[in-house]
Amino acid sequence: MKPILSMELVLGVCGLASAGDKVEPVGTWKCKYPIGDQKLTLELTIKKDGGKLAGTMSWPDQKDEKLKDVKLKDDTLTFSVVRKFMDNKIPLEFRLTIDGDKLKGKAAVEFGGRKQEYDIEGKREKKDK
């Protein structure tokens, strides 16, 4: 009986410890996403501004576009951003799941009356020490 109680106590304490672990979105994320046969890249930077999350997104041809409505709920980061391509402004909605230093999710765009979703994945850049 004692070993069972000891095991329950250990599992209970470990469970409480992991419940306190919180996903940390802050950092610079190098991301990839496919469109057709192309593998495209972007850089996502998330910061804390006061008590809120904020950030920017950069593509090879567009730098530091501000994110809007950045929110983190549990392990899911959501936000929107405007992609400028040629003479078009394309609003994108992101829903990304963070797992340690990796993220994975979807980007959704409505363009020409059609909504499309793209898979996206990324890794957080390591800080030099």
Q: What is the pLDDT of residue 4?
A: 44
Question: Can you tell me the distance from the alpha carbon of 126 to that of 50, in angstroms, rounded to the nearest whole number?
Answer: 23
What does pTM read for this prediction? Answer: 0.80
List the chain pLDDT tens, one digit each, 129 residues. Answer: 444 433 343 344 344 334 446 899 999 999 999 988 999 999 999 999 888 999 999 999 999 999 999 999 999 999 999 999 888 889 999 999 999 999 999 999 987 788 999 999 999 998 765
pLDDT score, position 6 = 39
**Tell me, what's the pLDDT at 119?**
96
Say what the pLDDT of residue 102 is. Answer: 97
Question: What are the pLDDT digits (tens) for 37-71?
Answer: 999 999 999 999 888 999 999 999 999 999 999 99
Which CATH class, in words, describes the domain spanning 22-124? mainly beta
CB-based contacts of 99: which residues, under 8 Å, 6+ apart? 75
Element (H or E) spanning 94, and its range? strand 88-99
Q: 95: how many CB neighbours lie within 10 A of its CB?
A: 14
75 and 98 Cβ atoms separated by less than 8 Å: yes
